[in-house]
Amino acid sequence: MKRTTKIIGNVLYGVVFTTLLLMIVMVISSRASGGEPQLFGYQFKTVLSGSMEPTFKTGSLIVVEEVKNAKSLKENDVITFRQDEKKVVTHRIIQVVKQGDQVSYQTKGDNNEDADMNQVLPQNIVAKYTGLTIPFVGYFLNFASSPLGTGLLLIIPGLLLLGYAAWTIRSAIKELEEKTKTVNEPENKQSIIS
């Protein structure tokens, strides 16, 4: 039982610590680049509106990848594009519009009644949705990108590491005490009998 508890504790600690380290890397990379967090060539975008529900909900984190050839996209692909200089939107392609050798895309949010007013040009496409959504993590990532969140994100793993070290040391001392008691008890019984 103790061994099982120890294994579960180690695995849980490893998962939490690894997740926090990945979050730290993402926040630091986004701060360094001045843009969205990136990891292994993928970008992480926080869903800020409900326009794509139920595909992904507000506060979710979606994973997107850079589009190498924007003219190769097809209907039903979910793309992230620049709507203007400051606003980036992620919507579904509902129609590929070809005029000669020129291509543009009509997009629409899954939860919107109407299609987007302007068609999207290939040069405005930032990325394509990979199909991976992590619910509610977007809220955490937004908080972690703030100065307070970044500070906490750097302090919490250290505190967890110290706590885990203290727990491990305490467990090791307790085991040693139990082994010492077990070893000393038979000697005491023999000395009483003789």
Any idea where the domains of the chain sit in the sequence?
Answer: 1-35+146-176, 38-135
pLDDT at 29: 66
Joined together, the tokens standing for residue 105 give 């895309």
pLDDT value at residue 103: 93
Which pLDDT score, from 0 to 100, does residue 186 have?
58
38-135 belongs to CATH 2.60.40.1220: no
**What is the arithmetic mean of pLDDT over 52-59?**
89
CB 105 within 8 A of CB 97: yes
Q: How far apart are CA 176 and CA 159, in angstroms?
A: 26
Q: Give the lowest-confidence range in 69-73, 150-154, 162-166.
A: 150-154
DSSP 3-state helix, strand, coil percentages of the chain (rounded to 5)?
Answer: 50, 25, 25
pLDDT computed for residue 130 by the predictor: 93
**Distance from C-alpha of 81 to C-alpha of 126, rounded to nearest angstrom:** 5
Q: Read off the tokens for 133.
A: 């959504």
Residue 107: pLDDT band (50, 70, 90) is very high
The one catalytic residue among 29, 30, 49, 51: 49
Q: Is 49 a catalytic residue?
A: yes
For residue 187, what pLDDT band results from cuts at 50, 70 and 90? Answer: low
Of 41, 58, 62, 40, give the one whose Cα is nearest residue 49.
58
Sign of CA dihedral 164, 168, 174, 175: positive
- The band of 33, judged by pLDDT with boundaries at 50, 70 and 90, is low
Q: Which of 178 and 117 is assigned the larger pLDDT?
A: 117
User: Quick one: average pLDDT of 135-163?
Assistant: 77
Q: What per-residue confidence (pLDDT) applies to 122?
A: 92
Q: Identify which has the larger pLDDT, 11 or 25.
A: 11
> Is it the case that residue 95 has pLDDT exceeding 60?
yes
Q: Which residue has the higher pLDDT, 179 or 62?
A: 62
Distance, in Å, from the CA atom of 179 to the CA atom of 181, rounded to the nearest integer, reads 5
Residue 74: band (very low, low, confident or very high) from pLDDT cuts 50, 70, 90: very high
